[in-house]
Structure formats: structure tokens, C-alpha cells
Structure 1
Amino acid sequence: MKKVLLSFMLMVTCCLFASVAFANDKLFLSGDITLEEANKVIDAAKAKAQEQGTLMNIAVVDAGGNLKAFARMDGAFLGSIDISVKKAKTARYFNMSTTDLGAAAQPGQPLFGIEATNDGLAIFGGGELILDTDGVIIGAVGVSGSSVENDVAVSKAGASVLSKRASKKKN
């Protein structure tokens, strides 16, 4: 009897999942970055890195802080892979750039020690939020591989590409 009930429950669950999946041609949450958009962010960040003559790891997370796209430029530091992902997640988790969070996390500041939470955060520049045309956060980009100043420039170039495209369409 238990096996029959379990089989029935499994069948119902599968049918429910299938009906949701087939009811929507694509399962996509509005307010989330698409893969196409994430790749545009990476392309813009890579172009800025090449302009600077730097080699970067570039991570893009979705609105939920999950890795959506990643690129490691040939020769970029292996140790910067994890840092770039953490910068992107940190920016998204706290809805601010890692530069701003880092300033609030210094000794004597209100968020001192926050980097030890959430399985480790990156609280120095190179993580930026990605906004849609309405200013809604749809993800974040994290960049690592050079100086903090270069990381910030590359992450800002990546994060701004979608808003630049949107403003060009409006004009």
C-alpha cells in the first residue's frame, strides 16, 4: 500500500511539474537577468579589461545571487575565480557595490566583520549591481584579476552596458 501511495504521489508531482513546464515555453522569472544580457555584461567587461591591458575573471549572478555566466580570460589568476564570484554575490546579497560595503565594514564601522558571514564575502571593489531599464536589480557582476581600481573600472563597464543600451533605445 505504501509503495502504491508513493508511486501515485510521484506521478502527481511529475504531472504537476510537466504541466507548469509545458504551460510556459520558457521558465523565466521577470526581473532576472537573461543569459543574453549576462553575456553582454561579460563582453563589455572583457573589452574594458583588454583596453586596460589586464586579465580578468568575470562572474555574473542573477537576481537570486546564483551564478549565471562566467568568463576567465586566458592567463587570468586562478585564485581570482572564487573572488570574482564572491564579489558578484556580495553585491547582490547586500544590494550595493562591494566598494560601498567595504567602507561600511572597516574597523569601527557598523558592519565590521560582515565578511565572515554567508560563507565568506568579498568586501573590496569589483562587485557592482546590474539594473534593468526601470532601475530594478536583475543581477550583479564581480571582477577580479588586477588592482582594486582596475577591477572596479571593469566591473562598472560591465554593469553599465545594459543601462547604456536602454538609454540609446529611448533617445
Structure 2
Amino acid sequence: MRITTAAPLGIADTESLVATARRAAEAAGATVSVTVLDAGGHLLAFRRDDRAVLISGETSTRKAYTALQLNAPTADLVDAVQPGGPFHTLPTALDRPLLFIAGGLPIHRDGRLIGAIGVGGGAPEQDHALATAAVEALA
């Protein structure tokens, strides 16, 4: 049995993710916060635009954490927490709060989960697009 490892997110990766999300947000006229977490859920980078609403910092972090813990884009999980959904009680079941709003994406390298990015402050679809642009540029 061969165990494969993937390089963790490094500082160059982290800077690229934040810079790409920032440029995409500026091009879209959005003011957002961006959070990058490593595979263990530890903060690697955080950036809030000067004019972004203050809560965007919290939402970007929670989106990244949710995407990391469930290894799925938060946009794909919105229906799962609705009444009758398989994760209906999950948002209140854990000590660390999850956030099921589009804008969080897991980050993979060589098929392995190595971290997550969260964008908050714009409309959910816009946050998702900004996070997607950052992850796609990293590949």
C-alpha cells in the first residue's frame, strides 16, 4: 500500500488565494472579507476590505470552516440544512458554528483536502464566484 501525500498550503498559495479573490472582488465592485484555513482548520490568512461590513469577517471564516469540515462547497449544502434535510440540526449541534451560505470552498491538491477558503460580504452567489476564482487560479 502506497500512501500519497499532498503538499500543504504554503505562504505563496495563501497569498495567491487572497490576491486573486481580492482582484476578482474589485473587478466586481464588491467589498468582502477572505479567510484561508489549512487542513486542520487553522487560520492562514484573513483580509477584510476597508469598506466591507464588519460581519463579513465572521461569515468568511465560518464559510471556510464549514467547507473544510464537510469537504464540500457551502453552496452545495444550503438545501441540506433546510427543514427535513439530512443536516437540518447540524448548524446548532456543534460548539464551533457552521454557516451554510454560499461562499466557502474546500481546497484540494492531488486529490487531498489541504484547506479551505471563505468569502463573505457580497451576495452569496457573488461570494461563491470569488472563492471559485481564487481556487481555480491556484490549480
Same fold (TM over 0.5): yes
1:159 aligns with 2:132: no
1:70 aligns with 2:46: yes
- The code of the aligned residue for 2:97 comes to G
Instruction: Note closer, same or farther for the CA distance 1:40–1:147 as it changes in structure 2 (3 Å cut).
Output: same
Among 91, 100, 106, which residue is 2:76 paired with?
100
Q: Which residue of 1 aligns with 2:98?
A: 121
Task: Name the Cα RMSD after superposition.
Answer: 1.4
Give a deviation string over 1:41-90, Cα, whole Å, max 9, x none: 01111111011100010000001111111111121111111110110011
Q: Which residue of 1 aligns with 2:10?
A: 34
Give a deviation string over 1:118-141, Cα, whole Å, max 9, x none: 421110100001122x12211100
1:130 aligns with 2:104: no
Count of aligned pairs between the two proteins: 134
Q: Would you tell me which structure has more helix in proportion to its own residues?
A: 1
Q: TM-score normalised to the size of structure 2?
A: 0.90
Alpha-carbon separation, structure 1, partners of 2:136 and 2:6: 20
Task: Give the ranges of 4+ consecutive aligned residues of structure 1 lying more than 6 Å apart after TM superposition.
Answer: none
Aligned 8 A contact 2:6 2:112 in 1: no
Bigger shift: residues 113-122 or 89-98: 113-122
The structure having more radius of gyration, on CA atoms, is 1
Structure having greater relative contact order (Cα 8 Å, sep ≥ 6): 2
Q: TM-score normalised to the size of structure 1?
A: 0.74
1:79 aligns with 2:55: yes
- The code of the aligned residue for 1:50 comes to E
Q: Which residue of 1 aligns with 2:28?
A: 52
Aligned 8 A contact 1:31 1:136 in 2: no
Q: Would you tell me which structure has more strand in proportion to its own residues?
A: 2
Quote the offset at 1:115 in angstroms: 1.2
- The code of the aligned residue for 1:104 comes to A
